[in-house]
Structure 1
Amino acid sequence: MSTMRTTTDPSPGENVIALRKERGLTQAQLARKADISLSLLSKIEVGDRALTPAVAAALGRPMGLTLAEVLGKATVAKGKGHSLAALRAALRDYDLPDAEPAAERRFGARMETAREYRKRFNVSRLLDVLPRLLREGTALAHAAHSAAAWTALAEVYSTVYWVAARHRWMDLAELAVARQTWAVQQHTTPLGAAVAARDRAGTYLNFGDVERGLGVVDRGIADAQRSLHGTERDMAVCILNLRGMTLAGRLPDKREARKEADRHIRSARAASDGLGGEDHQVLGLTVGAQNTFAHHFATYVDLGRPDEALGLTDDLPGALAGLPVTRVAPTYVNAARAQLDLGDRDGALAHLALAWDMAPQMARIHPMGREVFRVVSSLHRRGKPELLRLSKLSGIAF
């Protein structure tokens, strides 16, 4: 798999320095406005501490910036500008079915190809195929006007959202979610509506507005419980609670964050139990006990409970076995975050290497992966061969 181009994008911690200086703020002024300690901000800027999403959101508020803006947008990879422009054009033409409707079997095969690229975290190939897939899906939905066709189109929009959110292209992410919601409404399917609510809550997550995001999740759960039954209800409720626990882990009030996170964790577990302990693929998403574990792990790290996160299992590879790379690799990044918080630099580096080896394209754009690498490389005063290797793999200067 291609690692794409070498990047000059700053890490999140480095981005904070630039944003602060652009606004003429001293460290003391920004720390006071953000209600964090000056010592913490200083350590983040010099690379002794990783910038967490919660702290990034706190720093963004007094600067009038979203969480995504503080973490920093990922630039489009070399040679992919045309694909991105074509994707934006296809999004604009949502109600102009200007392509010939593809045969359902051929369109289904292309959908499966896109799912595979997503599972492998191959955003480069995914960006290439999405414009055509979106236009063909639009034509098919307008021509067939069936629940299946509109749900398939909503899944394409959900995949566009996923790509955009990974890069922090939030204008594109918001537009994709709006189109996804529109597609679901053309021929309502409750399960598709649940996924759309999950993605809409994700835009609030990236903007740092976690309270409103949690409101979207709770409303989606109530709708799913009212309109769905059996396995589909468990799938929808689990999917929404996974988003809910992530949002809850970012609440500014840590006591409230823990309470809300634990509520969503319990609900997600109960729903996943109804699925018989197996993970299922639902409109491009993975839902079940293993993915619930992966989100539980990440939420504990966000809550500042690294020892509890690592204590959830003594066999992390086994707990993640069978999940797609899009879930396994970020979990290894979260394990690296947890070990870094506990002072285990070598363990953090080892888990970061696992993540980036299995998803090299993630190395270029994942904000916390880049941030952990920055801190680990700063703390290792003497260069290590593994640091130099990961620097080359990710395109991040060491």
Structure 2
Amino acid sequence: MEYMESTPAPGENIAVLRKARGLAQAKLARTAGISVSYLSKIEVGTRPVTPPVVAALARAMRVPTQRIYGQPFLGPSEQADLLNDLRSTVRRYTLPREDVPAPGQLAADVAKAMRLRADTNYLELLGMLPTLLGQVTATALSSASGEAGAWTQVVDVYGCAYAAAHRLAQPDLADMIVSRQAWAARQTWNPDAEVAAAWNEAGTYQSAGQYDDGLAIVERAVIQYERASGSSSPTRAVCLGSLHLRGVVLASREKDERATADHLSKARLYAEGIPHDVLRHNLTFGQENTALYELAAHVELGNPHKAAEMAGPLLERPPTTLTPNRLGRMYIDMARARLDVKDYAGTEEALDKAFLAAPQMAGVHPMVREVIRVLFVLHQRARPKLMEMAGRTGLTT
């Protein structure tokens, strides 16, 4: 098995873009707010490029973040065909071609799509989304069934579509989906659905590295929901707690320790009454998921030792109520933390668990590819398990 890139690494893309703009490493590093040494290591592949650094470098070179990440390995062309089918359906969002199905069958199919999203089964999800989106939209637009509940189903299915587009690095499609989801949410008169749409809208800013704008979306959504929702309830806790968890990610990537602590503190308060995580409108919330966001925040804020310390007990006794997409992300964050503290065996262990928990997510996640790439450069390539994982991400053939 040989080491072969299916696409240029982010570090390579950075070097090409920098040279094309006539920028010396020192000038780009200064503009992006990082050290020259760090930039040099990113370009040669001995340090992983993190989302906040990608955002800073993209701003400095006036390119979208996707230009740096490039196109991830997607496997068979079938995935591209499925994405094109989804794109076509989203484009004609007010012109569904599907008939209105029986209510029971539609509800079962929506529940299945949400389960596939939580299980990170993106291929099967993509296969059913175009038809399902058309069906839920046709149902909501029909004069007999266009009530709030029908529109809430549209919001939930668009949430599944966003997850697939985001994870498969299709930012233009993800942006279009979010606008459609917001349109559907406005028809629901359901503040919970509005939160689900706002969560994903903030996510598009997160993907683009515009963390301050994403925080503004979160703060606006919190205020609007507090005005529209009733008294304390589990559903209210899930909605507001989930918004604050999104705020934790955005604030930590913005390197705003105070805002991170504030959002984390509020999320913990809402999680107190939800010991076992629940999933509603594609939002996962509870004490266990809140702990995972705290771990990720330590990584983003440059405290990998704290994150690695949290990771130990979680690896020994993984949360039992979390869905595969949350468990997969937990192991990815653990791998990044362990890499930062130079625990290479522990890094490989966490990556292996990510593939076991959420194989399709791990196979295309940019941070997984970056961590594996660094392990390769650091002469870990002789390890059989690492070689196997590299093959599953498209880094080797």
Shorter-chain TM-score category?
A: over 0.9
Q: Which amino acid counterpart does residue 160 of structure 1 have in structure 2?
A: A
Equivalent residue for 2:323?
Answer: 324
Partner of 2:338: 339
Query: Which residue is equivalent to 2:45?
Result: 47
- Contact kept, 8 Å, 2:73 with 2:394, in 1: the verdict is no
TM-score by length of 1: 0.92
Who is 2:278 aligned against?
A: 280
Shift of 1:62: 1.5
**Does 2:245 correspond to 1:247?**
no
Pairing of 1:263-278 with structure 2 (within 5 A): 263-275=262-274, 277-278=275-276
Structure 2: which 5+ residue stretches go unaligned?
none
Change (3 A) 1:335 1:83: same
Cα distance change, pair 13–363 in 1 and its aligned pair in 2 (3 A): farther
Q: Secondary structure at the match of 1:281?
A: strand
Give the CA deviation at 1:344. Answer: 0.8
Give SS of 1:48's match. Answer: coil
Q: CA offset at residue 159 of structure 1?
A: 1.3
Q: What is the CA–CA distance in structure 2 between the aligned matches of 1:345 and 1:75, rounded to whole Å?
A: 24
Check whether the contact 2:363–2:393 (CA below 8 A) recurs between aligned residues: yes
Paired residue secondary structure (1:286): strand
Task: Give the Å deviation of 1:70.
Answer: 2.3
Determine whether 1:69 maps to 2:70. no
Matches within 5 A, 1:1-398: 8-74=6-72, 76-78=74-76, 79-143=78-142, 144-228=145-229, 229=231, 230-251=233-254, 254=255, 257-275=256-274, 277-312=275-310, 314-317=312-315, 318-380=317-379, 383-397=382-396
User: Percentage identity across aligned positions?
Assistant: 38
AA matched with 2:307: A
Instruction: Give the TM-score of the pair, scaled to structure 2.
Output: 0.93
Unaligned 5+ segments in structure 1 are 1-5
| In 1: Cα distance, 2:380 partner to 2:285 partner | 42
Give a deviation string over 1:23-64, Cα, whole Å, max 9, x none: 343323322332321110111111211111111111111111
Of 17-26 and 342-351, deviating more is 17-26
Distance 2:335 2:62 in 1: 30
CA apart distance, 1:18: 3.4
**What is the letter of the counterpart of residue 303 of structure 2?**
R
Secondary structure at the aligned position of 1:304 is classed as coil
Cα pair 2:295 2:311 within 8 Å, conserved: no
**C-alpha separation in 2, matches of 1:382 and 1:209:** 35
In 1, Cα distance between equivalents of 2:5 and 2:189: 42
Secondary structure in structure 1 of the residue aligned to 2:310: coil
**2-structure distance, mates of 1:57, 1:165:** 16
SS in 1 for 2:284: strand
1:3 alignment partner in structure 2? none
Number of residue-to-residue matches in the alignment: 388
